[in-house]
Structure 1
Amino acid sequence: MEKLKELGHLYVTVYLSNFASSMVMPAITDVTMSAVCPGQDECSLAIYLSGFQQAIIGLGTVVMMPLFGNLSDQYGRKALLTLPMTLSIIPLVILACSRTTSFFYAYYVLRTFTAMICEGSVDCLALAYVADKVLERQRTSEFGILSGVTTAAFVSGTLAARFLSTALTFQVAALVSMIAAVYMRILLKESLPNEENLTQPILKSGQDDHCQDDGDLPLKTKESKKIPSIGDIISLLKSSVTFSQAVVVAFFNSLADGGMQASIMYYLKARFHFSKNQYADLMLLIGIAGMASQLLFMPLLARSVTEEKLLAIGLLGGIAEALLSSVAWSSWVPYATTVLAVVVVFVPPCLRSIASKQVGPDEQGKAQGCISGIISLANIISPLVYSPLTALFLSEDAPFDFPGFSVLCIGFATMIAFVQSVLIRTVPRISSLKIDSNSILA
């Protein structure tokens, strides 16, 4: 019962945080276009600005995610959650005040800087928190529920944005983001199974550290202060073939997701003149389909279907979605493809569960941080590839008439991820071996 209560507080924290970030998504394209290219439906500068921001954010998070994951293994999940949840408030407050060109560029700079540090870190640390609290056989379902909570926040935030004015959208998002940070600090408890061995709490003053010299510290404490290196990540990748395969799938799937994020809204605006309300409707349908799947269907399927098969099914859905969107012949086609979200949402929780089961209980932050770092690396490369491609094929200088060519290429990236997912085979889990050996020793 106590564990359920703790997970409940985590889910509320994740819900509020994602609700705030989801509210601004349908509005940000129109805000960008109005600030950069007022009165236009096609704007290469806006596409390049969004792509550049996405790449720079990815550059920061590819370093920060493994670092956050490792530090959370030492200092605790709650302490590390505080930084990203606090920093994410600042950009929202700026656009809550005004959305003029000068305020937009201030938002753009601060959003880029803060997201380099905290983009995706709340979800990464939440996954590690859940892995601390549940058994291996329950992780696929529990990760699915966590993804369902995230999707529910996405649905609620998108629905709120659909009926609120642009100004009020950013004001409410900023307020909810503040509430999320306060709620987390007051009610969320630490999750690590070896809490008694935690390093000096990261939010306390270092006064206690001066009471003794480093020479008096135990070797274990000294080692815990080590900042993770590239060598640590490479060692983790080499430790399990299954983990390495999951990383490859994560990379190409995220390459496709990042490409869709960089391209689809501008593609729909140029092709069918979509605006804030149409984006909100589209996101709402995707969110409802995903939420129903993650909260209802996936926990049931996880009992009888392996996570490897669910992963492959989800990637097949992503391929179909990209191919259909690329040749959309009417404005209703993007709405019709949202039904594929029912299976597409299988991908993230299955990937995270596969990775989680390949490491021990004291390495969950490291594993989730590594996966998040690889996803961030894909987010660096993706806009550098797809943003120029989208701008080219939406312009009058396109080499041939195919506005959705960049979306078609996104489907090819998902196809590579699918091929790799088929090769994943279940192997003895490292964490299980550790537990078994401990039991034998006991």
Structure 2
Amino acid sequence: MCNIIQKMRTLITVEPVMFLYMTGTFLLTPAYQQLILFKVCGEMYSENTEVCADLQNHQEESTAVQSKASYIMLIYMSVVSLLSVIPAIFLGSWSDRAGRKLGMCIPSIFSAVSGGLFIAIAELPEIGVYWTIVNAAIIGISGSHVAVFLSVFSYLADISDGSALTTRIGIAEAMIYFGGTVGFLLGGTLLQYYSFTHAFGVFCGCHILAVIYVICWLKESKHHQDQEKVLQGVAESILEEKHSLSLAMYAKRTFSCIVKRRAAQDRLKLYLLVLCMLLVNLANTGEQSLTLMFVTYPPRSFNNEKYGEFTATRMLLSGFSLLGVFPLLLRYVGEMILAKVSCLLRIGAFILMAFSTNIWMVFLVAVVNAAGGFAPAVIRSICSRIVGPNEQGAMFSLLASVETLCILVGGAIFNGLYPITLASFPGMSFIVMAAFIIITLILIQWVSEMPTTHPPLIINEA
């Protein structure tokens, strides 16, 4: 029995953590947005409750509510994004020394606390809508999804060798899509047929389960005192152990991960791969920001139900591709070839979306885009193999921080471009996204022509 449990712990590690966290995250998004709309309407029209009960049939009031709510939502997203980068920079290098589990637990603990506050905001009329910004700060200071991503991918780098790492990162990426599908559908159902309290209660439950799983099931991937004898940078580690490490020193270790000298062209390769992640996530942010508006705009004219079907289809296809097709293809095709094919299909999906005029063309985008997650998985894996075993957390914290900053930068770019081109060519923003991926494809080709020289990973079976 012990041998069976040990084997299960080797096969099933951080994937459930990613699934539970992303389920809660995607469940929270429509819930907090609807709560903000509900509270704003209640505060603006407290003396006329009929307006909020049937807001869609009050055009002027609806416009006023949405304008103020969108402003609050922008503040909410900005607070979460900006605050989450700061602790992640320290957590990455800190986890390289102390372990990965705490980085998975802290965001879920803080999220569960924020879920309780969300319930209070929903249930108590005297609590104003701006208390949601306090919740954004609570989630942000814990590191949010940035901390979870860097901890999960660093954990996988600790326990996987070069041949299996790309596959395991792909499976972890698949959990993002599966969690997104479940969270999106579950959140819609709870809000439609139950209440805010039920939705935020399930959100809390997801994060509590994630913490219990990490504590009770996961074995720490980094046994610090054993590995210090064999990891690179022994002399530096001994010297730093004599002094108490300040936050500034942890931040320095994180940034030094990307600027330090490396063998052959590995430093240039790392720069190019980080730039690839920047471009990919700018395109992803634009897609997430504009798809709803674009598909509801004539001649596509999607309703909420049709948009939900499209989103669920896209996430499921992407998740199954990463979980089943990607590991199978890696047995017969090189990972860089898969990354380039992924970029080509992603470019085709954006162009098809830009020129789509009906429902079947939009749903075809979901099919063409199914392999879109291959490239980020390959990029993460190569970055992990370039840096040393004691730099995994620092490197993944940089990647996760880049992804988070892309939410703000990409949102500003595409939300500014879309209204300008709406009258002439509504799909222009998707052409720009395709251009970003074309540049990514060129950079990946450049990286694939560089010699492969990276330090060996030390395997620690969890």
Q: Shared fold by TM > 0.5?
A: yes
Structure 2: which amino acid aligns with 1:81? Answer: M
Equivalent in the alignment of 1:66? 89
Alpha-carbon offset, residue 430 of structure 1: 2.4
2:276 pairs with 1:249: yes
What is the CA–CA distance in structure 2 between the aligned matches of 1:49 and 1:227, rounded to whole Å? 33
What is the CA–CA distance in structure 2 between the aligned matches of 1:415 and 1:259, rounded to whole Å? 15
| Aligned residues between the structures | 411
What is the CA–CA distance in structure 2 between the aligned matches of 1:176 and 1:245, rounded to whole Å? 36
Moved more, 242-251 or 302-311: 302-311
Per-residue CA deviation, residues 149-188 of structure 1 (Å, 9 max, x unaligned), is 3322223223323533343333322222222223222332
What is the CA–CA distance in structure 2 between the aligned matches of 1:304 and 1:264, rounded to whole Å? 35
CA shift in 2, pair 1:310/1:384, >3 Å? same
Equivalent in the alignment of 1:428? 452
Query: What is the TM-score normalised by the length of structure 1?
Result: 0.81
CA shift in 2, pair 1:231/1:78, >3 Å? closer
Alpha-carbon offset, residue 144 of structure 1: 1.2
| 8 Å CA contact 1:26, 1:279 repeated in 2 | no
Alpha-carbon offset, residue 143 of structure 1: 1.0
Structure 1: which amino acid aligns with 2:327? Answer: P
Alignment counterpart, residue 202 of structure 2, candidates 152, 172, 185:
172
Write the mapping of 1:289-328 to structure 2, written as runs, cut at 5 A: 289-328=317-356
2:144 pairs with 1:144: no
Equivalent in the alignment of 2:234? none
Write the mapping of 1:47-86 to structure 2, written as runs, cut at 5 A: 50=73, 53-86=76-109
Alpha-carbon offset, residue 360 of structure 1: 1.6
Alignment counterpart, residue 187 of structure 1, candidates 217, 225, 239:
217
Equivalent in the alignment of 1:221? 241
Write the mapping of 1:28-39 to structure 2, written as runs, cut at 5 A: 38-39=55-56
Per-residue CA deviation, residues 254-289 of structure 1 (Å, 9 max, x unaligned), is 111112222222333455565654443222111211
Alignment counterpart, residue 232 of structure 1, candidates 240, 253, 256:
256
| 8 Å CA contact 2:21, 2:207 repeated in 1 | yes
Alpha-carbon offset, residue 219 of structure 1: 2.5
Alignment counterpart, residue 139 of structure 2, candidates 105, 108, 114:
114
Equivalent in the alignment of 1:21? 25
Equivalent in the alignment of 1:209? none
Alignment counterpart, residue 339 of structure 1, candidates 363, 367, 375:
367
Write the mapping of 1:251-290 to structure 2, written as runs, cut at 5 A: 251-271=278-298, 274=302, 276-290=304-318
Moved more, 175-184 or 234-243: 234-243
Per-residue CA deviation, residues 7-59 of structure 1 (Å, 9 max, x unaligned), is 52422222212221122345565555566685369856655655554455443
Per-residue CA deviation, residues 174-231 of structure 1 (Å, 9 max, x unaligned), is 2222222232223322101545468xxxxxxxxxxxxxxxxxx962414682322275
Alpha-carbon offset, residue 313 of structure 1: 1.6
Alpha-carbon offset, residue 92 of structure 1: 3.4
Query: What is the TM-score normalised by the length of structure 2?
Result: 0.78
Alignment counterpart, residue 363 of structure 1, candidates 371, 387, 391:
391
| 8 Å CA contact 1:57, 1:380 repeated in 2 | no
What is the CA–CA distance in structure 2 between the aligned matches of 1:3 and 1:191, rounded to whole Å? 15
CA shift in 2, pair 1:113/1:412, >3 Å? farther
2:174 pairs with 1:156: no
What is the CA–CA distance in structure 2 between the aligned matches of 1:415 and 1:113, rounded to whole Å? 38
Structure 2: which amino acid aligns with 1:423? Answer: W
2:439 pairs with 1:416: yes
Per-residue CA deviation, residues 130-152 of structure 1 (Å, 9 max, x unaligned), is 11111111111111122223322
Structure 2: which amino acid aligns with 1:115? Answer: G
| 8 Å CA contact 1:54, 1:383 repeated in 2 | no
Alpha-carbon offset, residue 103 of structure 1: 5.6
Equivalent in the alignment of 1:354? 382
| 8 Å CA contact 1:144, 1:349 repeated in 2 | yes
CA shift in 2, pair 1:237/1:173, >3 Å? farther
**SS, match of residue 227 in structure 1:** helix
CA shift in 2, pair 1:274/1:181, >3 Å? farther
Alpha-carbon offset, residue 325 of structure 1: 2.0
Per-residue CA deviation, residues 79-123 of structure 1 (Å, 9 max, x unaligned), is 222221212224434444529896654224422552363233212
What is the CA–CA distance in structure 2 between the aligned matches of 1:237 and 1:101, rounded to whole Å? 57
Structure 2: which amino acid aligns with 1:8? Answer: I
| 8 Å CA contact 1:57, 1:115 repeated in 2 | yes
Alignment counterpart, residue 10 of structure 1, candidates 14, 19, 23:
14
What is the CA–CA distance in structure 2 between the aligned matches of 1:309 and 1:69, rounded to whole Å? 30
Moved more, 356-365 or 151-160: 151-160
**SS, match of residue 424 in structure 1:** helix
| 8 Å CA contact 1:155, 1:287 repeated in 2 | yes
What is the CA–CA distance in structure 2 between the aligned matches of 1:231 and 1:120, rounded to whole Å? 16
What is the CA–CA distance in structure 1 between the aligned matches of 2:379 and 2:250, rounded to whole Å? 26
CA shift in 2, pair 1:391/1:255, >3 Å? same
Moved more, 325-334 or 337-346: 325-334
Alpha-carbon offset, residue 350 of structure 1: 0.9
2:373 pairs with 1:376: no
Write the mapping of 1:387-402 to structure 2, written as runs, cut at 5 A: 387-393=415-421, 400-402=423-425
Structure 2: which amino acid aligns with 1:430? Answer: H
Alpha-carbon offset, residue 129 of structure 1: 0.4
CA shift in 2, pair 1:366/1:273, >3 Å? same
Alpha-carbon offset, residue 339 of structure 1: 0.8
